[in-house]
Amino acid sequence: MISNGAGTTERKNEWTVFSVMNDYLSNGELSRRKRAFMKINYLPMVRKELIDFNQELYNYLGEK
């Protein structure tokens, strides 16, 4: 397995809201960078109705 730095196994430019959401649903948590990515990209995808709203994920993203 190729590591792309700091314990990651995939590059940021390979992330999608769907893939990161699947990571959250599988693991129950996200890395600091994936969490920041989702804070920026999740709600716009929900508003465009491209992904279903998940209250648990939304609450998780709002926590510090």
Give the model confidence (pLDDT) of 12-39 as tens digits.
Answer: 789 999 999 999 999 999 999 999 999 9
pLDDT confidence of residue 11: 82
Residue 6 counted as domain residue? no
> 61, 45 in Cβ contact below 8 A?
no
- pTM here? 0.77
Residue 3 counted as domain residue? no
Domain count, the chain: 1
Residue 9 counted as domain residue? no
Residue 7 counted as domain residue? no
Range(s) of the domain holding residue 37:
14-62
Mean residue pLDDT of the chain comes to: 87
Chain mean position to CA 26: 11
